[in-house]
Amino acid sequence: MKLNNYINGQWGTDTGADYTAVKNPANGKTIADVRLSTADDVTQAVAAAKAAQKKWARVPAPKRADYLYEIGRIMIEKKEHLSQVLTKEMGKVIEEARGEVQEGIDMAYYMAGEGRRLFGETVPSELDNKFAMSVRAPIGVVGLITPWNFPVAIATWKSFPAIVAGNTFIWKPATETPMMAYEMALIFEEAGLPAGVANVVFGSGGTVGTAMIEHPDVRVVSFTGSTETGRRVAELGGRHLKKVSLEMGGKNAIIVMDDADIDLAVEGILWSAFGTAGQRCTACSRVIAHTDIKQELEQKLLEAMKGLTIGDGADESNKIGPVINAKSLEKISYYVNVGKEEGAKLLAGGNTLTEGHYTGGHYFEPTLFTDVAADSRLAQEEIFGPVISLIEISSLEEAIEVNNSVVYGLSSSIFSRDVNKIFQAQRDLDTGIVYVNAGTTGAEIHLPFGGTKGTGNGHRDSGVAALDVFTEWKSIYVDFSGKLQRAQIDNN
């Protein structure tokens, strides 16, 4: 199967194009070949999006929303098919894949509802016989760059608000997971989305992403990925005075206080740390444990980890799937060695799995370190794999200080029964998302998603806040006095 670009409502051909293999991380088998597009392909897509945008912007927002309702309906109809494809190309277990597709469905219906809102505001003018209001206006052509770990959910967080707000877009999916973009383009086509509104261009970030950011007709770039790449996107976008929305890395922590429900905390830690094989920007990679319950927590975590089954995500019995590729395995192994060299104590895991039914795949054991120094590399740097660092503290104030000591600020969590501690933590944890008596993952689509510090640049995906990325505020003054009135002058 060859995956070609979807531009201006048409599928490209493979004439003269270069391709790269898409492999199932569970077994290393090639499942498709994806086009490696050129800057000329981006230029073609931008031209199509620009030509379509003016007409699309004039479609009433409730009518634009009708397309999202139809997209959501088709996604419901194809939910199991989409989930199976997602697991095959990305590796996450099928239960999680179904949850991710459902997130996309939820986003379709939520953002469709914005078609009858897109609220601005009216305010009283300071002058007589004058009316003042603000409205949201579409920006134009937007560029979307999405990662491989949530190839459906994150794409819908970005594309659906762009659509309902009256923009057109070019979407560059990750080269590791292009099949989900192909499936979504088929859904856009089936839903009757006008040609040029949605365009998919496959290829590398260096070629396709750079061409998109540098193109003068792309007004907004929304990126999710590593902090290192996000900095380059911001730098390049800044030179061209583009609006750039970044959602990047995380080094998320779960605080377990001495009064916590330990069994509940263990459940939350396992789901947050090992779901999606730890390949979430919201994954728990640090557990900050009060000294009074540290030993009990360690033992219960070790016991619970024994029950985690690892294997092909398509097998319903498995709880943890593979990581995305060999490069990720190398990075995780590297950090395990770093942890050992720094003096952290390895309690479980730490190895790649290569034999038997793991042959050909990219599997890493769930790993637990204890006695980790809060300022160590293991506790400070993003690993993006199934590795937990357990850090001991003696007070809530110390726990909050440790939580906030990293360069990232995406998600944090506290397990406690003390309402005073909980409210203090909610206030003082320096992250964009805070969970209480739950893990660090599980965001809902109607609240803003994003973080502080090295995690982002102030914008948010999801919720009404996502509309701020894809709209401009326009202030409108209507003077019906029949004479010239000068604000701040004629009213004094």
- Please calculate the CA angle 59-61-62 and round it to the nearest 5 degrees: 110
Instruction: For residues 366 and 388, give the distance between their C-alpha atoms in angstroms, rounded to a whole number.
Output: 8
Average pLDDT over all residues of the chain: 97
pLDDT in tens, 255-304: 999 999 999 999 999 999 999 999 999 999 999 999 999 999 999 999 99
pLDDT in tens, 22-47: 999 999 999 999 999 999 999 999 99
What is the H or E stretch that residue 346 is in? strand 345-348
**pLDDT the model gives residue 286:** 98
pLDDT at 465 over 90: yes
Instruction: For residues 111 and 69, give the distance between their C-alpha atoms in angstroms, rounded to a whole number.
Output: 9
Phi, psi of 283 (to 5 degrees): -60, 145
372 alpha-carbon distance from chain centroid? 28
Structure tokens, 463: 């919720």
Residues assigned a catalytic role: 247, 281
Instruction: For residues 265 and 114, give the distance between their C-alpha atoms in angstroms, rounded to a whole number.
Output: 37
Q: List, edge to edge, every strand of the sheet that includes 130-138.
A: 121-124, 130-138, 471-479
The fraction of the chain above a pLDDT of 70, given in percent, is 100
Structure tokens, 421: 């501690």
pLDDT in tens, 174-223: 999 999 999 999 999 999 999 999 999 999 999 999 999 999 999 999 99
Q: Give me the half-sphere count of Cα atoms (radius 13 Å) on the Cβ side of residue 90.
A: 32
pLDDT at 492 over 80: no
Q: Quickly list DSSP for 259-281.
A: TS-HHHHHHHHHHHHHGGGG-ST
pLDDT in tens, 225-241: 999 999 999 999 999 99
Instruction: For residues 111 and 62, give the distance between their C-alpha atoms in angstroms, rounded to a whole number.
Output: 11
Q: What is the dihedral of CA 40, 223, 378, 308, to 10 degrees?
A: -100
* 349 φ/ψ sector (left φ>0, alpha ψ -120 to 50, else beta): left
**pLDDT the model gives residue 194:** 98
Segment 62-89 shows an average pLDDT of 98
